[in-house]
Amino acid sequence: MDAPSEVAFGQLLFGGIGFMLLAAALLVVFLVTYQKRLLQQQLRLRAAEAEYQQQLLTAVIEAQERERERIGRDLHDGIGSTIATAKLLVNRLGSGPPADDAGQLLGLVQEIMGAAVLDVRSISHSLYPAVLARFGLAEALQHLVDVSNETGALAIGLAVDYPRPLPLAEELALYRICQELLHNALKHARGATRLDVRLRQQGPRLVLEVEDDGCGFVPLAPGATKAASGGAGLRSIEVRVQMLHAHLRQQSAPGAGTRMAVEMDAPEPAG
């Protein structure tokens, strides 16, 4: 017959083994449950990412169609009507004997054709800013601000600290972002007395800012999808920000103006 101490030891041993088996079973259940939840979370994230990518693709298509519509309208309403008017004047000059006002009509034709040339250049610049390819982003922004100031809608200031130019594709994306931000500010910043554009490069960071002191707005709630909630202009900005692997930050409040900033990495060249 076993001694009491041996019986107690055996009970403790079997109890310990049972506890270890139970703990191992619980650990397996926990790991399986954790892996299942992790997989479900990954699937949700992938679905959200796929939806966001689809929204960005939709924004790209909408921006392209909107740009085509604008160009078509400019060609039809602007250059088309201008050239049609010039054609009528030329036909009048070419039909019948010279009129007493032939010189005046010829001068008018020259003036109209000069305006058409300016319209063509304006549309061409909106399609692809030649000054950007020739002189870089700083000069292109200066030209953009100068042209915008000619409208007289709102005085625009520009401050540039940009010692290390980026590749042309990235500069073009930043230019288009600034172009859209300026358009939005001029359109929506009611009551503004100033509009400032700043491009600064500090160490490994580059920041493009457009700020006004207008009416402001209520920013999107944290976690809201800008591409889904904003207008076509904001969605096109989001697409380019995504391309640059940058971040778009909004600071605004009703009556307190608006600051839009694009922040991105611009690593210093080695050596």
List pLDDT tens digits, range 45-68: 888 877 776 776 676 666 666 767
- Token pair in block for residue 113: 């054709």
Mean pLDDT of 18-30: 86
In three-state secondary structure terms, 98 is: coil
Cβ-Cβ contacts under 8 Å for 136 (sequence gap 6 or more): 165, 171
Q: Report CA torsion sign: 201, 204, 208, 209.
A: negative
pLDDT band of 228, cuts 50, 70, 90: very low
Using the structure block, give the residue that is written with the tokens 């399986």: 32
Share of the chain above pLDDT 70, in %: 79
- Token pair in block for residue 257: 């103006």
The pLDDT value given to residue 235: 77
Q: What are phi and psi of 259, to 5 degrees?
A: -125, 120
Dihedral in degrees, nearest 10, Cα atoms 13, 18, 24, 27: -120
Percent helix, strand and coil across the chain, each rounded to 5?
65, 15, 25
Cβ-Cβ contacts under 8 Å for 113 (sequence gap 6 or more): 82, 83, 86
Mean pLDDT of 241-266: 90
- Token pair in block for residue 202: 């500090």
Which range has the worst mean pLDDT, 38-52, 67-81, 250-264?
67-81
The pLDDT value given to residue 227: 40
Share of the chain above pLDDT 90, in %: 19
pLDDT band of 268, cuts 50, 70, 90: low
Given a cut of 50, whether residue 117 has pLDDT beyond it is yes
Residues 179, 243 contacting (CB under 8 angstroms): no
Which range has the worst mean pLDDT, 162-166, 167-171, 188-192, 230-234?
230-234
Given a cut of 60, whether residue 271 has pLDDT beyond it is no
Which range has the worst mean pLDDT, 112-116, 209-213, 258-262?
112-116
Q: How far apart are CA 79 and CA 83, in angstroms?
A: 6
